[in-house]
Structure 1
Amino acid sequence: MDDVSLLVADEVHMLGDEERGPILEMTLTRLRYRNPKAQLLALSATAPNADELAKWLNAELVTLDWRPVPLREGVYHDGEIIYSDKSRRKIPENEYNPVLSIMVETVADGGQVIFFANTRKKAEQYAEKAASVLSKYDILSDEERQQLSLFSDELLLSTETSAFTERVASLLRQGACFHHAGLGAVHRRQIETAFRKRFLKVLCATPTLAAGVNLPARVVIIPELRRYEVGQGMHTISVTEYKQFCGRAGRPNFDSYGEAITIARNSDEFELIMEKYVKGRPERIWSRLAGERHLRIQTLAVIASESIKDFEGLDKFFGATFLSYQFGSSFIRKSLQTIVEFLEKHGFIFHDDLLEATRLGRRVSELYIDPLTAIQIINICEKRPKIATDLGLLQVVCQAYEVPSVPMKRIETHKLERFLEENRDQFFDVPDPCEEPDDYDLFLDSLKTAIFLKAWIEETGEGELFERFGVEPGDLAVLRERASWIAYSASELMKVVGKRDLTTEFEVLSARVEHGVKEELLPLVALHGVGRVRARNLFNAGYRTIDDLKRASVEELSKVPSIGVKIASLIKSQV
């Protein structure tokens, strides 16, 4: 960071994001602390308090109204679209649903459409309906059908077979598909490429598309502006999120204009949408660093890695954050004092006259895990069972905050509890359901995830995993990454506290979770181009070690199912 001369912070309004905001804020703060002479360029299309951000960053504010493709925002109501400039356009009622009628008109005119749905289920339902309507009106050309078939076939050949993949491939072939976090990398690549090449006409997406993927279309349709969220119930989305949706309308070099159309079901809703969203401004960006978890992680990181020797220096450093700029240094000082006391109490830092990270504190900071997670893992591992099994180790990992609880089929509580009783001797620490009901519920939730990951590392195929658990490829990818990271972190923590046996067991588990294999395949999956399926085929063909591969010829290896000459040559180049 000391050598950086120019840092570009795109989408700087993400400072207001609950999870990513604190990381972005601390990155900018640390750059300015370490390298005050570096040039900083912060960009955003939705930052109403840009002047405040500019003052915090000591930057010059530059504002532009220019857009590569002009945008028209409108609201559909009672058979027509009313735009912000009060112009109107009648929509032919080709279908019972105005969303589909607008789609038909756009695609027939050579454009593409993005629907923004509030849930995965609705995105998939819209995609099914859109595909049906495209087929009904026979809108796709022969070339488009042919190209979509090629994308569909390549998808089926590029990933493990499952009902989920077959459904995606079928929709892709018909010219309309969904896009959400459940898609795996291969699914996303095929869908996004087909859309960018304009063969895929309709994309039905969840809000993640607006935030992270540059896939513009001529028309963006927003069917509803209300969403259900756990703990909040039904609520309207923010103006910022609405404007992010609108930002996807209009494809440079292909469209002379872009349209963002929201659906109103009655006159009251029409007035609300027009005044609050179409004519409204995005909400002010607020720092999210004040959250206890974020401040705990970042405080330890600063103590462990920056040249700060005392509390006054720490206070001064955090005084340069956006949080301090907005709320004042006294607001953050009290929180810092509490966190420093917590870190000292649990052995992460020394704090006499000086502040210094302990060996444990430095390693936890390097691993970038919550100190609370580290405490939890260390304490649980003090209660290890006589035999540490894969399932028991996985449960420890899955109980960490950093490992997400992914959407999966519901397992009835009484079945989980019966499973727990049958396997109780495998677990490190089972909370008492009467004395610790909340901890017990969290344990059961982590147990469900652990059962799934146990099937994954036992090499259960993705198709069977989807059938049994309902876990989609994208969720599996996130879960694998996080669980592997926490398992590795656990191995490093065990190294620090001197539990060598658990160090090895967690380290092996981390690699197995990453690749989804039994331990015997780890040497093979470490090779580039060799995944779990190819590794198992090699192993079953008698190539069980690196030495076995060294002795084999390219011709011999190429005869193994799923290997071929290209992969065989790649393997030989590595051994």
Structure 2
Amino acid sequence: MEVAEVLPDFADAFAFEEFNRMQREALPALLERDDNVVASAPTASGKTALAELAICKALADGGTALFIAPLRALTNEKEADWDRFESLDYSVYVVTGERDLNPRRARHADILVMTPEKLDSATRKHDSRRYDFVTDIDVCVIDEVHLLDADRRGSVLEVTISRLRRLCSPRVVALSATMPNVDDVAAWLDAPPACTFEFGDDYRPVDLNAGVKTYTHGENTFADKYRRLYRALDLAEPHLREDGQALVFVSSRQDTVQAAKKARDEIAERDVPMGARGDYDFHTESKDLENDTLRKSALDGVAFHHAGLSKNDKDLVEEWFKQGKIELLFSTSTLAWGVNLPARCVVIRDTKYHDPLEGEVDMSPLDVLQMLGRAGRPGYDDVGYGWVVCDSADADKYRRLLRDGKEIESRLADSLDAHLNAEIAMGTITDLEDVMDWLETTFYYVRGQSRPEAYDFPNLRQRVRDCLERLVEQGFVETGENLSIEATSLGVLASKYYLRLDTAERFAAVCERDEVTADDLLEAVATAEEFDSVSARQSERDAISAVLVGQETGDLEAGERKVLAILRGAASGSTPSELRSDAWVIRQNATRLLSALQAFLERFCDPHAANLARRVEARIENGVADDAVGLTAIDGVGPGRASKLSKEGLSTPGDVVSAGVSGLVAAGLSEGVAERVYEGAQSLPAVELEWGAFPDTVRTGESDVHQVTVRNVGEPSQAGIRVTVNGVEMSSVSTYLRDEETIPVGVFGANEDELEFTVSVAFPGEPLVPLEESWTVVVE
């Protein structure tokens, strides 16, 4: 069955010319019906083509397709793969973070690509103009639906699909690796039997011989890595000697590099023949690699692959592996989920990995099965060999996994309160009956019917009542007449900013303080529940103490001190090398939390506190000094340019406007950049104060009211104006400052020699340092 015969208009969208047996059997359900489809099939059997068939049908009908990728690293790969659709005049758009989102492109895209987390966030805000595109989806393809069983991420996928189905009723096509309870997923998605497929191992293009090998666990974890590496090489060596290829999965990016270096030396010592060594043409081609370490390794037929490599280097490694020039490849698990890169032998060297937010955790069973599924090269091998290398204490667990597979469970119960709060905040749940109606749309409900005892199904209604009562007690939800349910401001903010409920409570408590400092904000983020599993390794503790020297952190646990040290280091632009491996992930999460904390402060505290949070966030994001952080509000000014301008005495957008293009050129910017930066600075709010007839003196006992004018000579923006006298707040106002605002100020002859009046103007949404001006009145 040729692609061109079945889909003549879309033949160029596929990377092959003929459908295989599995694809042929699923094809009528995908192309000739409109029902939801669930297909479970072995890794490397061609599931991606099923996704593409569903997308082609939607496009042919004039609709919009959504593809949910399990990992962020894979969304960009899909965008690159699907330039085949672009060549047919269909647009593909990857929906990224809040600030990078282009709503117009998303709205006009034919194919959207998102992770479950991005889709969850977007559907929570579906009624905003920015995210309304998510209500216009005709087919939703879930790649790797067995992600439902993943800790924390699984419940996100589950509730998001349920929500999307209520919002716009798209056709759902769910694909997964082999799973024993595919019928439960089909029941959840209302896929009829004719559209539910469970393709067994006989559909694997190559048979899989999988097993478990143990190693002797020692005292030193560093030495253990090398014990496992030698074990992996022992397993791979026979295949390498027969011109086969081996793929070895390790736990981290750095480990791929170190393992490849060590393996290269070991293979040379064992005198294993590697074809790349004598290939002069390949020697020349390898000069195209940007990573020097990778180039040296690849020349010996050994390479590494991880998400941190440049696209050029990843593409070259993948191509050379397919061509057989790379015979031994070390990779992180990302490769198992994304690129179709099979090998005769697959070895999982590491079954545990270090997660910056979770500490040491076990590789998920789904990841293990996915990686082993890469064993066996269609068209080259009759059988693939897959091995799990683990400590003897874990051996039986992995043998059971390989023998019985992994049933997919719901993880919704673990975070039911947060997801329930989100639905109430969106207004989709208004009473207890709505809660039960919502719950019946979840995989949790379906799986509970299959395993009532394990899911405590008979007591489900009571559990939901208890959960609702907790939300009311904690202030996220309030009840009204006839047992109606409505979200409070706290509940709405917790949902909008994707917070764990304990974190939302902590942020609300910060807003109740008389005065909020930058230290308060950093500590609130460092102690957030989102970082509750961060651990500080022994090798990191001295670096943490050095960053926090002189600061009172006695109540903080080791993991919280680590987060705080990383945030302080990021804000100053100097993260110690010992903390850098985890710093990126922690910083990304911290800036998201600070953005949420800014919204809390704006809602429950005042604009000045919100502006402080925005400045702290910008400092952590850019690593610039507090007095120069306002420069990062200018489009095109990142940490480098901000530091350069600051050193030249230009530390605010106002300084940039005053300097003009010529001044910016004198400060070291090229003329083109200077013009863009100057225009960017002009597009920000800029304030001037006029004290008018404000007096210089006042007699004791006398009083009068005078006026101060706050004029915005830049772009309109939300602003907070505060007036203090001798440090005590007299008045404050929050306003949308378009042109000018007149502030009445009472001048009272008090029991003081002098009265210092200070007017401060802050912009909560911009990292601009507040403008402050003072006027001294002498009391006679």
TM-score category of the 2 structures, normalised to the smaller one: 0.7 to 0.9
Q: Secondary structure at the match of 1:471?
A: helix
Match of 1:457 in 2: 571
1:306-327 per-position Cα deviation (integer Å, ceiling 9, x unaligned):
3322111112211221112222
1:388 aligns with 2:484: no
Distance 1:524 1:173 in 2: 46
Cα separation, partners in 2 of 1:97 and 1:483, compared to 1, 3 Å: closer
1:67-87 per-position Cα deviation (integer Å, ceiling 9, x unaligned):
685353355989xxxxxxxxx
Match of 1:287 in 2: 410
Of the candidates 241, 247, 259, which is equivalent to residue 373 of structure 2?
247
Of the candidates 438, 442, 447, which is equivalent to residue 326 of structure 1?
447
Q: Percent identity?
A: 23
Match of 1:377 in 2: 507
Map of 1:461-540 to 2, 5 A cutoff? 465=575, 467=577, 469-472=578-581, 475-522=582-629, 524-525=631-632, 531-540=638-647
Of the candidates 139, 144, 149, which is equivalent to residue 16 of structure 1?
149
Structure 1 unaligned regions, length at least 5? 79-95, 157-166, 432-439
Cα separation, partners in 2 of 1:403 and 1:514, compared to 1, 3 Å: farther
Cα separation, partners in 2 of 1:120 and 1:67, compared to 1, 3 Å: same
Q: Secondary structure at the match of 2:320?
A: coil
Match of 2:466 in 1: 338
Contact 1:15 1:287 in 2 (8 A): yes
Letter in 1 for 2:599: E
Cα separation, partners in 2 of 1:323 and 1:121, compared to 1, 3 Å: same
Distance 2:300 2:600 in 1: 51
Cα separation, partners in 2 of 1:311 and 1:265, compared to 1, 3 Å: closer
CA root-mean-square deviation: 4.5
- Which moves more between the two structures, 51-60 or 407-416? 407-416
Distance 1:567 1:143 in 2: 42
Cα separation, partners in 2 of 1:248 and 1:541, compared to 1, 3 Å: farther
Contact 2:351 2:362 in 1 (8 A): yes
Contact 2:618 2:632 in 1 (8 A): no
Distance 2:614 2:606 in 1: 12
1:375 is displaced (CA, Å) by 0.6
Distance 2:265 2:400 in 1: 34
Cα separation, partners in 2 of 1:365 and 1:238, compared to 1, 3 Å: closer
1:35 is displaced (CA, Å) by 3.6
1:356 aligns with 2:486: yes
Match of 1:436 in 2: none
Cα separation, partners in 2 of 1:56 and 1:415, compared to 1, 3 Å: closer
Of the candidates 324, 336, 343, which is equivalent to residue 210 of structure 1?
336
Q: Secondary structure at the match of 2:385?
A: strand
Contact 1:225 1:236 in 2 (8 A): no
Distance 1:404 1:143 in 2: 52
Of the candidates 107, 130, 151, which is equivalent to residue 289 of structure 2?
151
1:327-349 per-position Cα deviation (integer Å, ceiling 9, x unaligned):
25644322321222122223222
1:173 is displaced (CA, Å) by 7.4
Match of 2:249 in 1: 116
Distance 1:537 1:250 in 2: 54
1:361 is displaced (CA, Å) by 1.6
1:397 is displaced (CA, Å) by 0.8
1:265 is displaced (CA, Å) by 10
**Which of the pair has more CA radius of gyration?**
2
Letter in 2 for 1:244: Q
Q: Secondary structure at the match of 1:320?
A: coil
Contact 1:111 1:217 in 2 (8 A): no
Letter in 2 for 1:70: V
Match of 2:189 in 1: 57
1:116 is displaced (CA, Å) by 1.8
Match of 2:525 in 1: 397
Q: Secondary structure at the match of 2:375?
A: coil
1:354 is displaced (CA, Å) by 0.9
Question: Whose helix fraction is larger, Structure 1's or Structure 2's?
Answer: 1
1:175 is displaced (CA, Å) by 5.6
Cα separation, partners in 2 of 1:315 and 1:259, compared to 1, 3 Å: same
Distance 2:359 2:253 in 1: 17
Distance 1:42 1:393 in 2: 42
Match of 2:58 in 1: none
- Which moves more between the two structures, 257-266 or 61-70? 257-266
1:486 is displaced (CA, Å) by 0.6
Match of 2:496 in 1: 366
Cα separation, partners in 2 of 1:98 and 1:402, compared to 1, 3 Å: closer
1:222 aligns with 2:347: yes
1:70 aligns with 2:239: no
Q: Secondary structure at the match of 1:448?
A: helix
Distance 2:584 2:190 in 1: 40
Cα separation, partners in 2 of 1:574 and 1:112, compared to 1, 3 Å: farther
Distance 2:532 2:298 in 1: 29
Distance 2:213 2:471 in 1: 57
Contact 2:348 2:371 in 1 (8 A): no
Cα separation, partners in 2 of 1:175 and 1:398, compared to 1, 3 Å: farther
1:39 is displaced (CA, Å) by 1.1
1:367 is displaced (CA, Å) by 0.8
Distance 1:258 1:188 in 2: 33
Cα separation, partners in 2 of 1:554 and 1:177, compared to 1, 3 Å: farther
Of the candidates 445, 463, 468, which is equivalent to residue 559 of structure 2?
445
Match of 2:716 in 1: none
Distance 1:419 1:261 in 2: 45
Cα separation, partners in 2 of 1:553 and 1:526, compared to 1, 3 Å: same
Q: Secondary structure at the match of 1:302?
A: helix
Q: How many residues align?
A: 507
Contact 1:408 1:470 in 2 (8 A): no
Letter in 1 for 2:369: K
Contact 1:407 1:471 in 2 (8 A): no
Contact 1:73 1:261 in 2 (8 A): yes
- Which moves more between the two structures, 234-243 or 27-36? 234-243
1:536 is displaced (CA, Å) by 2.5
Contact 2:305 2:317 in 1 (8 A): no
Q: Secondary structure at the match of 2:429?
A: coil
1:446 is displaced (CA, Å) by 1.3
Letter in 2 for 1:366: K
Q: Secondary structure at the match of 2:531?
A: coil
Contact 1:238 1:283 in 2 (8 A): no
Contact 1:46 1:240 in 2 (8 A): no
1:82-109 per-position Cα deviation (integer Å, ceiling 9, x unaligned):
xxxxxxxxxxxxxx94633665665677
Contact 1:395 1:450 in 2 (8 A): yes
1:509 is displaced (CA, Å) by 1.3
Match of 2:733 in 1: none
